[in-house]
A and B are shown apart, each in its own frame.
Chain A
Amino acid sequence: MANDVALDARPASAPPLDERSIYLRRLVVRALDGGARGHIGSSMSLIEIMRVLYDDILRFRADDPDWPERDRCILSKGHGCLAQYVMLAEKGFFPHDILDTFCRRDSILGGHPEAGKVPGIEASTGALGHGLPIGVGRAMGLRIKRSTARVYVITGDGEINEGSVWEAALSASKHRLANLTVMIDYNKVQSAGPTAEILDLEPLADKWRAFGFAVSEVDGHDIEALRRGLRPASPPADPPSLIICHTVKGKGLAFAENDANWHHKSSIKKDLVEQMYGALETR
């Protein structure tokens, strides 16, 4: 299709993680240490996606999270919230030391993000398949209000097993929501194992094209590729856009990469915390 952007999407082509990507992962480990639990693999695959969104793409005001002209960023795969929490801390939505309170009784930072509790969180997610329908509604609302704000919805790959995602895709396409961008964190491993074995999504790009989206594919750990994907030379004129971000589950922690066993861990002890910091130092 004319709107497709052909990019080298193989994760193996990604340059090594730079200092900022390592630093952001260390912040995730800091929160995992604080809460002694968390979705490790699911957050690590998302880091560069959230980094590029918050560093380069989204319009927001950290001191005015409800600023009407802000872009709406909905992390539909809410279990990856640590990747969003660290970017919100980086941008000043809340102080970094709040990360240490992750999942504690009175914390604002739960294991899934909650709107109204965490500044900068647009929708309470965690139950899968909710972000895109909400994103479609917000994009419709912004269009009615003639706002120039955009809506970004980030889904997981296992998440799009949910039928509600495809119901919303039909609707987004029908309404030709040019102000909507969907990104899939395609790390190819869901909670119980490889997506190809659990419920194969392929041919994934063709499916979304068939649903009327302008589809592009990028290496989801390549900062420049993500920037190009989110700022295409010729942006789609009116269909909603979808970027398949090829990522690695657990990216940055060699011992956890591509391993479903690291999807989530509870009772995280100090030695595992040190192991994670160590793995990030030796990259």
Chain B
Amino acid sequence: MRPTCIDKVFELARRDPRVAYIGSDLDPPLVKRMNAEMPGRAFMEGVSEQHVVGMAAGLAMEGFIPFVHTIATFITRRCYEQVAVDLCLHNLPVRLIGNGGGLVYAPLGPTHLAIEDIAIMRALPNMTVVSVCDADEMKRFMDQTLDWPGPIYIRLAKGYDPIVSRADLDFTIGKAIVMREAAAALDRVVLVATGVATTRALAAADALAEDGIQCSVIHMHTVKPLDAHTLLDHAAGASLVVTIEEHTVLGGLGSAVTDALVEGRPGGVVPPLKRLGIPDAFAKNYGSQDDLMELYGIQPPQIAQAVRDGLRRVPA
């Protein structure tokens, strides 16, 4: 996903003279490639996130579409005021590429985990928040970044993640993708996920189908603006809605879905709801991304179990 994203920046820069790239201290090959072919539009500015975001704003004010790339937690937390004021208040078409969203940097500890990035980015007016599920979907998404107004936060996963997206389902920023549609059944469950959590949700849905539990899987690649229409459509009459995210349960996808369900009341009721994600605590463990996802209960068997438990708790 990361190499694909970076390759797409290069391709877009070739196609459109407005595209610029600013790295902090990552991906020197892209800067070399861009400057060899289109000198002057790629920069490596050092570990100075506040400056880099302000500089991107300045370039955007001059008509450019800058892609800024560094580690997800630093491009969100370190320069939050610059993102809010320089990008969102001015509503500029800057694209923030957050490398290693979620638990990707598990072995490096809590300083490097971006577990609240979606929450703090979606709290900002004018910001669009996108978390695709694999490299193929990244390609389809990146093609749409040239004409999307305002800033976008792009959350990257680890890379080389299994391909689960499908070209035939298309991709539109702000439009959820129904990856799997539950057949009509007594208990109909809706799983809503974003990023690589969608991959886990699909695997959980497969396992549950073997038990006779039917799940729809909604891939909410764009967490903001949230596609409430698709969500409410599927949640109407559901026995259970479960959100799955590689993110704190505070303020991310689960919160956005809860807000939409409580306000939208599909079919006149708020369906039973379970939010799976990272608890409100800093990580105490290292290991791998998968290790921590298991610890936090967002791997497929645990998602499936949460659904079974949730259905048992739902009054008949």
10 nearest A-B residue pairs (beta carbon): A137-B58, A133-B54, A141-B62, A167-B51, A167-B48, A137-B55, A164-B50, A138-B58, A134-B58, A137-B59
B86 contacts the other chain (CB 8 A): yes
Among B50, B56, B81, B85, contact of A137 (Cβ-Cβ < 8 Å): B56
- A145 contacts B62, C-beta separation under 8 Å: yes
Query: Is the interface on chain A under 10, 10 to 19, 20 to 34, or 35 or more residues?
Result: 20 to 34
CB neighbours (8 Å) of B62 from chain A are: 137-138, 141-142, 144-145
Contact with B along A157-195 (1 / 0, CB 8 A): 000000110011011000000000000000000000000
A-B contacts, 14 listed (Cβ < 8 Å): A123-B57, A129-B50, A133-B50, A133-B51, A133-B57, A134-B54, A137-B58, A137-B62, A138-B59, A138-B62, A141-B63, A144-B40, A167-B46, A167-B50
Question: Complex formed: what's the CA distance from A138 to B56 in Å?
Answer: 9
CB neighbours (8 Å) of A86 from chain B are: none
* A120-165 residues at the B interface, CB under 8 angstroms: 122-124, 127, 129-130, 132-145, 163-164
- B46 contacts A170, C-beta separation under 8 Å: yes
Question: Complex formed: what's the CA distance from A145 to B20 in Å?
Answer: 13
Question: Complex formed: what's the CA distance from A168 to B53 in Å?
Answer: 10
CB neighbours (8 Å) of B56 from chain A are: 137
Q: What's the nearest-Cβ distance from chain A to residue B286, in Å?
A: 30
Among A129, A130, A140, contact of B59 (Cβ-Cβ < 8 Å): A140
CB neighbours (8 Å) of B64 from chain A are: 141, 144
A115 contacts the other chain (CB 8 A): yes
CB neighbours (8 Å) of B178 from chain A are: none
A-contacting residues of B (Cβ < 8 Å)?
Answer: 20, 40-41, 43, 45-46, 48, 50-64, 66, 81-82, 85-86, 89-90
Other CB < 8 Å A-B pairs besides A137-B61, A164-B54, 15 of them?
A123-B86, A127-B81, A137-B56, A137-B60, A137-B62, A140-B55, A141-B61, A141-B64, A163-B50, A164-B48, A164-B50, A167-B48, A168-B51, A170-B48, A171-B46
CB neighbours (8 Å) of B40 from chain A are: 143-144
Closest to B81 in A: A127
Most chain B C-beta atoms within 10 Å of own C-beta, residue among A116, A127, A167:
A167
Closest to A145 in B: B62
Among B41, B61, B81, B89, contact of A144 (Cβ-Cβ < 8 Å): B41
* A71-119 residues at the B interface, CB under 8 angstroms: 115-116
- A140 contacts B58, C-beta separation under 8 Å: yes
Q: What's the nearest-Cβ distance from chain A to residue B48, in Å?
A: 4
B-contacting residues of A (Cβ < 8 Å)?
Answer: 115-116, 122-124, 127, 129-130, 132-145, 163-164, 167-168, 170-171
A124 and B50 in contact (CB under 8 A), knowing A133-B82, A134-B57?
Answer: no
Question: Complex formed: what's the CA distance from A115 to B90 in Å?
Answer: 7
CB neighbours (8 Å) of A129 from chain B are: 50
- B90 contacts A123, C-beta separation under 8 Å: yes
- B85 contacts A130, C-beta separation under 8 Å: yes
Q: What's the nearest-Cβ distance from chain A to residue B68, in Å?
A: 11
Q: What's the nearest-Cβ distance from chain B to residue A147, in Å?
A: 8
Question: Complex formed: what's the CA distance from A115 to B88 in Å?
Answer: 12
- A137 contacts B63, C-beta separation under 8 Å: no
Question: Complex formed: what's the CA distance from A123 to B52 in Å?
Answer: 16
CB neighbours (8 Å) of A163 from chain B are: 50
Most chain B C-beta atoms within 10 Å of own C-beta, residue among A116, A133, A139, A142:
A133
Question: Complex formed: what's the CA distance from A132 to B48 in Å?
Answer: 13
Q: What's the nearest-Cβ distance from chain A to residue B49, in Å?
A: 8
Question: Complex formed: what's the CA distance from A115 to B66 in Å?
Answer: 20
CB neighbours (8 Å) of A145 from chain B are: 62-63
A130 and B54 in contact (CB under 8 A), knowing A137-B59, A144-B41?
Answer: yes
Closest to B91 in A: A116
Q: What's the nearest-Cβ distance from chain A to residue B65, in Å?
A: 11
Q: What's the nearest-Cβ distance from chain A to residue B28, in Å?
A: 15
CB neighbours (8 Å) of A137 from chain B are: 54-62, 66
Among A116, A123, A133, A144, contact of B55 (Cβ-Cβ < 8 Å): A133
Q: What's the nearest-Cβ distance from chain B to residue A179, in Å?
A: 12
Among B61, B82, B89, contact of A138 (Cβ-Cβ < 8 Å): B61
Q: What's the nearest-Cβ distance from chain B to residue A208, in Å?
A: 16
CB neighbours (8 Å) of A144 from chain B are: 20, 40-41, 62, 64
Question: Complex formed: what's the CA distance from A164 to B54 in Å?
Answer: 9
